[in-house]
Structure 1
Amino acid sequence: MNAPQSYLGWKIDYANPPGEPAYLDPGSVHWRVYKNPIALAVGGVAAVLLEFADARIRSGVWDHSTYKADPIGRSKRTGIAAMVGVYGPQAAARRVIQGVTNMHARVVGDTPRGEAYKALDVELLDWVSATAAYGFLNAYDRFVAPLGEAEKTRFYAEAHPIARLYGVKYSPTSQADFLAMMNKLAPRFEPHPIVEEFLGIIQSGQAAPNAPRFLHKALARAAVSLLPPIAREKLALGREYDLTPLDVLALKAAGRLADRIALRGSPPCQASLRLGLPYDFLYRSQAEQKRLLAARATGEPASAAT
């Protein structure tokens, strides 16, 4: 069993205390999507690209974070913050998210063109939250398993409670809602060398050293492929970032394989145990998951439901 994760000095134990709920239910679409590392990797890069299209966010991240010097550590911390919001005990999620908010309160400055920004600006918070939802959802749908429109709408609705903890005032309710939100910001979007530098880090594998080397460039191209056309055009990401058929085959194979491997010490497996479910709950068929959730609701032991 893996040791608890650490974030900002706090230990995050996904297995304890027994029974403490997460902000999202085990039957949620979020629990299904966030267990997949390929969806998180591709979706996370796509989200950053959408954020970097706005000079205020791009400057805030590049000038005030450790991403350039420590892409591995920065990526891990971002991943932990995302995981604890979905799988962690509510008390742990509140501590971590408050810690993130406290750090963001210190992120203020000016873009190269002299426009003032602060990380806790509501417009920026709303956009960052929306890009994460869009990225993770569409990466899972494209490279792991297709999701129906009702499931996509559920995913956006499920994001609201966690988004509010970050200070988000408005979060999209559907794919169409996200695109409408993006279109309002699109006049601000612009290309920048930092975007190319960021993609260079992704393609080099520095940010995801455990991923197979042949997937590094595919991950970057896959992320670009998720961008709405207007965003890709504004960022001037040309044909060199086109996803190849081999990329698609490799990513889908990796995504589907990852969706079947239950690592007992991982956050989704530990969270399942905390809530009285088998550690591999999320890796079983949806029909069996429903039976297990129904059994839990009536107080029947998980072992009796299997």
Structure 2
Amino acid sequence: MAKLKRGGIEPHEDYGFFGPGSVVWKVWGYPTAPTVGFQRAVVVEELDPPLVAAVHATQGIYRRSRTRYDRTLKYFAMVAFAGSRQVCKAADILVKVHSKAIGHLPYGGGTYDANDPASQLWIQLTGWHSILYAYEKYGPGKLSPQEEKEYWEACALAAELQTCSPDDIPRSREGVRAYFERMRPKLSASPIARQAMNHLLRSELILPPTPRWAKPASLAVAKAQRIATIATMPRWMREMAGIRQSRLLDILIVPVMKAGFALARISPKVELRLLGRISPSTVAVVAPVKLGIPPRKEEVLTPAQARARHGYAKPAEAHLEFRARQAARVFDDGEAPSEQGLDESQEILGPLA
């Protein structure tokens, strides 16, 4: 982490899709985002049967918990903070990565496909909702009405980097609540969902090895994050998943986390060092923003402008032939899908191991 000097940080090419003064930089730049907010998102996502089927089939969260968290968090941070070319490239390769996450649902019949627009919509909304929820509960508090309107408009803009349609993104808190109510009957705490949720709540799995003398403190931090994340989950969801936590803990954890996150905000370098412990690959994405390093071009683009400039297709229309070959391998030939997309992604999202 000695590279956390202005001269050692590579500036982004441009401001990407949001930029200084945006509500996205305000909310996603707070330390609640890569910790409680992101953990809540990946835990809640597992209640969707197609999504957890894909997660279970790849076994990535179990075999490489730390790198999986690192790579996924890096992608979401790139959408918020990185230059437009870098984000378009990451969104494009992610379609190829997801092309291997296809198969037959283990319960109830049917198939799953990680590139399915409905699955991508679920990921998009649980992610953006969880980041905002954690910011409100453990950070500065609720956004103004205008800021919240801007936030959900930004969520729709970011959806253009997924295979789902931005038209399906609600533009208000009420609309988001209505979406989750429509999804509720479709959710299921299957055995593989419960297994995944409990695994993802083990915050200690994403931390680097620590000296024996530091382990008690490390485990205490991980335990506090687990309590804080569970405290953001509604009771019906916890009951469905068999996750137990007292109301007293829900209350007591709030001032502890508020104080901890406020303390981390004292210094950008402290924030980046803490981020480096849970997601080393994400530091280079966030550092230019935290350290005030301007991009080479001080401009903000739309995803459509960026795709036209950098030569990328819409994610929903990307790599159709490759995705068809993957489907044929799995559903027609009964073979394992190609790892090509996953291998190619390492240059962009970070190593697999």
Q: Same fold per TM (> 0.5)?
A: yes
Amino acid at match of 1:205: E
Q: Which amino acid aligns with 2:293?
A: L
SS of the aligned residue for 1:237 comes to coil
Assess if the C-alpha contact under 8 Å between 1:51 and 1:128 holds in 2: yes
Shift of 1:276: 8.1
What secondary structure sits across from 2:148 in the alignment?
A: helix
Partner of 1:252: 258
Instruction: Report what 2:169 is aligned to.
Output: 171
Cα distance in 2 for partners of 1:78, 1:236 equals: 26
1:97 Cα offset (Å) = 1.3
Q: Distance in 2 between matches of 1:246 and 1:14?
A: 41
Does the 8 Å CA contact 1:22/1:90 hold for their aligned counterparts?
yes
Structure 2 alignment gaps of length 5 or more: 211-216, 273-282, 298-353
Rounded to whole Å, the distance in 1 between the matches of 2:135 and 2:170 is 18
State the match for 1:120 in structure 2.
Answer: 115
Q: Secondary structure of 1:117's partner?
A: strand
The one of 138, 144, 166 aligned to 2:139 = 144
Q: 1:147 to 1:14 in 2, by over 3 A?
A: farther
- Contact between 1:204 and 1:216, CA under 8 Å: does it hold in 2? yes
Asked if the contact 2:204/2:219 (under 8 Å) is kept, the reply is yes
Worse overlay, 215-224 or 265-274:
265-274
CA distance in structure 2 between the aligned counterparts of 1:207 and 1:188, rounded to whole angstroms: 30
Residue 226 (str. 1) matches residue 222 (str. 2) = no
Structure 2 matches for 1:200-279, cutoff 5 A? 200-203=199-202, 205-209=204-208, 212-239=218-245, 243-263=249-269, 267-271=285-289, 272-275=292-295
Shift of 1:212: 3.6
Please list every run of at least 4 consecutive aligned residues from structure 1 whose deviation after the TM superposition is greater than 6 angstroms: none
Looking at structure 2, the residues matched to 95 and 118 of structure 1 have their Cα atoms a distance apart, in angstroms, of 21
CA contact 2:38–2:131 (8 Å) conserved in 1? yes
1:69, distance to aligned residue in structure 2 (A):
0.8
Match of 1:153 in 2: 149
Q: Look up the match of 2:128.
A: 133
Corresponding residue number in structure 1 for 2:347: none
Check whether the contact 2:43–2:201 (CA below 8 A) recurs between aligned residues: no
- Residue matched to 2:77: 83
Higher helix share: 2
Describe the SS at the equivalent of 1:109.
Answer: strand
Q: Matched residue of 1:205: which SS? A: helix
Q: Could you say if the C-alpha distance between residues 136 and 242 of structure 1 is closer, same or farther in structure 2, counting changes exceeding 3 Å?
A: farther
> How many residues are aligned here?
266
Identify unmatched segments of 5+ residues in structure 1. Answer: 4-12, 278-306
Instruction: Report the CA distance between 1:228 and its aligned residue.
Output: 3.6
Tell me, what secondary structure is at the counterpart of 2:150?
A: helix
Q: Which moved more, 1:252-261 or 1:132-141?
A: 252-261
Superposition deviation, residue 65 in structure 1: 4.8
CA distance in 2, matches of 1:143, 1:25: 24
Conserved in 1, the CA contact under 8 Å of 2:102 and 2:112? yes
Distance 1:115 1:207, change over 3 A: farther
- The TM-score with structure 1 as length reference comes to 0.78
Q: Deviations over 1:6-36 (max 9, x none)?
A: xxxxxxx85143xx22111211111112223
Q: Is the 8 A contact 1:60 1:107 kept in 2?
A: yes
- Counterpart selection for 2:182 from 160, 181, 184: 184
Tell me how far apart the structure 1 counterparts of residues 163 and 96 of structure 2 sit (CA, whole Å): 11
Write the deviation string for residues 198-241 of structure 1: whole angstroms up to 9, x where unpaired: 43453350123489421212222222222244433433323369
Distance in 2 separating the partners of 1:14 and 1:102: 27
Percent identical: 21
**Cα offset, 1:162, TM superposition:** 1.8
Secondary structure at the counterpart of residue 227 of structure 1: coil
Secondary structure of the 1:239 match is coil
SS of match in other structure, 2:20: coil
1:197/1:116 Cα in 2 relative to 1: closer, same or farther (>3 Å)?
closer
Looking at structure 2, the residues matched to 242 and 16 of structure 1 have their Cα atoms a distance apart, in angstroms, of 44
Q: Which has the higher contact order (CA 8 A, sep 6+)?
A: 2
Amino acid aligned to 2:175: D
